[in-house]
Chains A and B, each alone.
Chain A
Amino acid sequence: MSAYLISIITEGAIFGIMALGLNVIWGWSGDFDLAYYSYVAVGAYMTLVLTIGPATAPAQYILGLQLPYPLAVFIAVITSMAVALVIGSIALRHLRGIYFSIVTLGAVYVVYVLAGQYVPLFDGYNGLSGLFDPMGDWFGLDYLSYQYFLMGLSLAMFALVFLLMWRISGSRFGMALRTLREDERAAAAFGRDIYRLKLKGYVLGAALAGFAGALFAAYLSAFNPSAWSPVGEVIALYAAVLVGGRGNIWGVVVGVLVMGVGVQESTRWLPHVPGLGELDNVNPQILLSMRGLIVGLVLVLFLRFRPQGLLPERRYVDSQPAALIVQTPA
């Protein structure tokens, strides 16, 4: 298996976990949250400061512990959930619609600026690095075998998260979230505590984001402000969830394949097109921009013409026919 294929699968699995988390917040609860990727970033940053050991001058960052990777992941996820609790408890209390989205956009910018400018936190623009092959030494893996290991781990974690989402999806909790999306007032009139329920969904989604971030940190070995942007990443995630099928976890998988892997692959041959290849030499951004362009356009087109996505959300189907009703004479 080529190294390229291994990395595609690993990235796909991590991206898939992110998309499943976003599906909880937007697909089920119906909140267009723009702060989502900050939870991924927090997960990545925290994983690093908990595993790469103390800072050596002139680098600065908080903590700087050398914990075993699984423990670091656990703490990182909790941290993401804590940040989400703060942002969510403010944004979800009174705000809906675009006002909610705008405030969350503000939140992700604050996180981005803090992480990138406030050096004592995560070494500002330099970011953090040095997480090499976590857990690799437990099994005595060399570089190549480790790539396989990480791929397998990511896939396994994705499967686990998918299973969790599958159970939530068919549960009353999952259905309660959906009633919030469909009609909040009616949900409240029928006993649902809107704020609390939304917050639970929000923190759950953020937990998945943090978890994906932790895996992402292992995959990249590093994380810094150029590894993410406040808006670009989240648009790709929304595109994946929307295109695949908002609210349908199988749809999310399809969306990740189409928008994540599909777009990556279909644009790979672009530099080989005569003319464009030279452009890419002059302007290395070309491939990235083409992909961004396609993702954005697909998002808008699907919003207009197929908002339910490729695999629409499925309703519970009761296939039992009506029972025979025996009429007793009055």
Chain B
Amino acid sequence: MNEALLTLGFAMVTASILALSAVAFTLEYAVTNVANVSHGEILTAGAYAAFLVHQRTGSAIAAAIAASLAGGLVALAMHSAVIGPFIRFGASPTIVFIATLGMSFVIQNVLVLFFGAANVAYSIDPGASRQVGPFRLTPLDGEIIGSAVAITFVLYLIISRTRFGKALRAVSQNRELARVTGINATRVAGATFFLAGLIAGYAGFVLAESVGSFNPYFGFGFFLITLTAAVAGGLGRAVGTMTGAVIVGIILEVVPALKLPFVGYISASYNLAIAFAILALVILVRPRGLFTNARRTVFE
């Protein structure tokens, strides 16, 4: 029982980080109808920014802020320079998808040029683990989960209570209609990307210190898992995405802890494969609400 709770505790931390990354990705998708493959690089940028600032200042808070800002700027730049122009040009979502894949590759290589490909160790003293309810968590874990909850709540307020949030919802539901009512869809999208970047950058910082190290490629790996959570929960739907993140987070922690018949223990290095197995299963079996082609004929 203890072990199960321990695992669940870890899962909550993973799920929190995943939830932040996934909700940011969902925001990007909702407002442009584009799956931004360079999303992972926003996290990586956040990690590098945090590390550099932390080295200079020794302050974790400054690092967190730097990560957030870096993420926001990278996301905004991605929208302004690439995604926005492609959409205005009339490119299909698949074409923009390919473009963001290309940009992901470009950013990774830029980071390698500047920082090298090697792993950068980054750790913050997590503090002694304590009993919190039925779980054993460190203060760091608590901060991660707490900040994730707080950010989600603030995001909820922004989307539901502010004028910007209203514009965001309008654009995500029907771009053309929003335009007709006077909303500058491109500006709203850009601002949304900045917001998503702030969240994702912070998630990158948290992920890096949680894992203990990072490199130019680590964001992309996490992006694949993020994608699983976002698609499982429903592309474009924030609540579903959070649920998806929790489920995926739990599965990813639980599976390596299980002793399966025949196979025995599955090491954590299979995480990516497991995440994708889930993803494929979801897309194939429960595509309703995700997209119209599926189930019966391809055309329905």
Contact = CB atoms under 8 A, between A and B. Distances in A.
Interface in B58-96: 82, 85-86, 89, 91-95
Contacts of A314: none
B298 A304 contact: no
Contact of A235 (B86, B105, B112, B272): B105
Contact of B106 (A102, A297, A307): A297
Contact of A295 (B85, B105, B280): B105
Contact of B105 (A94, A231, A285): A231
A113 B117 CA distance: 20
A303 B99 contact: yes
A296 B109 contact: yes
B95 A303 contact: yes
B105 A99 contact: no
Interface of A: 32, 90, 93-99, 101-103, 105-107, 109-110, 113-114, 117, 184-185, 188, 194-195, 231-232, 235, 238-239, 282-283, 285-286, 289-290, 292-293, 295-297, 299-300, 303-304, 307
B218 to A, nearest CB: 14
B6 interface: no
Given A98-B94, A109-B276, A296-B109, A304 B99 contact: yes
B269 to A, nearest CB: 5
B280 A103 contact: yes
B164 interface: no
A292 B294 contact: no
Interface in B29-53: 35
A300 B287 contact: no
Contacts of A114: 273
A98 B93 contact: yes
6 contacts: A109-B272, A235-B105, A283-B113, A292-B109, A296-B105, A300-B106
Contacts of A289: 109-110, 112-113, 117
Interface of B: 35, 82, 85-86, 89, 91-95, 97-99, 101-103, 105-106, 108-110, 112-113, 116-117, 220, 224, 227, 231, 267, 269-270, 272-273, 276-277, 279-280, 283-284, 287, 290-291, 293-295, 298-299
Contacts of B35: 98, 102
Contacts of B224: 105-106, 109
B106 A285 contact: no
Given A95-B283, A185-B299, A307-B95, A110 B113 contact: no
Contact of A90 (B86, B91, B106, B280): B280
Q: Specify which of B85, B110, B290 lies most central, judged by the most chain A CB atoms within 10 Å of its CB.
A: B110
Contacts of A96: 293, 298
A84 to B, nearest CB: 16
B276 A110 contact: yes
Q: Specify which of A93, A94, A290 lies most central, judged by the most chain B CB atoms within 10 Å of its CB.
A: A94
Contacts of B109: 289-290, 292-293, 296
Determine chain B's interface SS by DSSP, over half rule.
helix
A117 B112 contact: no
Contact of B98 (A93, A95, A238): A238
Contacts of B112: 283, 285, 289
Contacts of A290: 109, 113
A105 B117 CA distance: 23
Nearest to A34: B101
A30 B133 CA distance: 54
Nearest to A106: B276
B102 A300 contact: yes
- 3 closest residue pairs by CB, A with B: A106-B276, A296-B106, A296-B105
Given A94-B294, A106-B277, 10 more contacts: A99-B290, A102-B231, A102-B283, A231-B105, A289-B109, A289-B110, A293-B109, A293-B113, A296-B105, A296-B109
Contacts of A297: 102, 106
Q: Specify which of B94, B108, B220 lies most central, judged by the most chain A CB atoms within 10 Å of its CB.
A: B94
A110 B293 contact: no
B283 A113 contact: no
Nearest to A31: B94
A184 B224 CA distance: 29
B283 A103 contact: yes
B94 A303 contact: no
Nearest to B291: A99
Nearest to A236: B105
Contact of B116 (A90, A94, A103, A283): A283
Contacts of A195: 298
Contacts of A282: 116
Contacts of A97: 92-94, 97
B103 to A, nearest CB: 6
Contact of A94 (B82, B92, B284): B284
A322 B287 CA distance: 52
A95 B284 CA distance: 8
Contacts of A95: 283-284, 293
A289 to B, nearest CB: 4
A114 B273 CA distance: 8
Contacts of A109: 224, 272-273, 276
